[in-house]
Amino acid sequence: MTANVHDNDLQELRDQLALGCRVLAARELSPGFLGHISLRLDEERILVRCRGPHESGLAHTTARDVRVVTLDGEPGLPGELDGWTVPHELPLHVQILRRRPDVRCVVHAHPRRTVAADLAGLVLEPLVGAYDIPGSALVAGGVPVYPRSVLVCSDALGDKVAEHLGDHAAALLRGHGVVVTGDSVPEAVLRAVSIDEIAHLSLLVAAAGGRPRPIDEADRAELPDLGGSINLDVAWRHELSRLPATPRT
C-alpha cells in the first residue's frame, strides 16, 4: 500500500491495535464502550479504532474495527470507512501526532481510578520503586493535567491537549480520562496500565489515611533499566494471556 507499510504488516498492525483495545477493556481502563487507540502509518495516514456496524465496546474490538484514515479523518484506502465512522475525538489523536513526530501510538481511555485520583486532588507521584520501574520513571517525569472535561472533538481542542502534553509521555484530562503516547501499541497501552496502577495505589494510601509520597530520590536513582524491549515483550505477552476468548467478528 505504501513505501512504508506493506499489506502483511498492515494486517499485523490492525491485529495488534485491536488487541491493545481489548487489553484496555480487560484492565478496566475504559469502562463502557468508549476509548480508542491510533497508530501512525506514514506522514498522512494512521490506523485508528473506529465505530463499526456491530459496535459493542472496546472489549469486543476486532481487527476489522481498525481502519486506515488520513489525519483529516478521510478514508486512507478506498472503501476504508464504508460502514465505519471515526471517533468523535479523532482530533485528540491527530493533533498530538502532528506535534510530536517522535510519537507513533496514542491511547485515549477513561480509567476510573486515574480520573478519581486526580479529582481527589492527588498528584501522581513515583510512589513505588521495584514494584513498577518503568511506570515509576514515567510518573517521575511528570504527568500534566489538561483542566477541562470537554469532548475533544475539534482541532482547536486537540491542539490544547497536545500543548498541555508537551514532551511528556502522558497527560490526564480532568473529569475525562488520559492520553498516553508510545512508540508502539504495547508500549502506550502498558504505560496507561502503569499510570492507572499508580493512581490506584495513591487512592489506597489516601483511603488508609496516609499521604502518597514519592520514594527516596536515592532509591529512584538506583533503579535499573531492565532492558526496554525484553521487559515490554514479556509484559505484553502477559496482558494478552489474560484476555478473555477472542470476540465474535
125 given a catalytic annotation: no
* Contacts of 127 by beta carbon, 8 Å cutoff, 6+ apart: 136, 139, 198, 201, 202, 205, 212, 213, 214, 215
What three-state secondary structure class fits 135?
helix
* Amino acid of residue 177: G
Which residue is catalytic, options 89, 125, 197, 239? 89
* Contacts of 52 by beta carbon, 8 Å cutoff, 6+ apart: 64, 65, 83, 84
* Residues with catalytic roles: 89
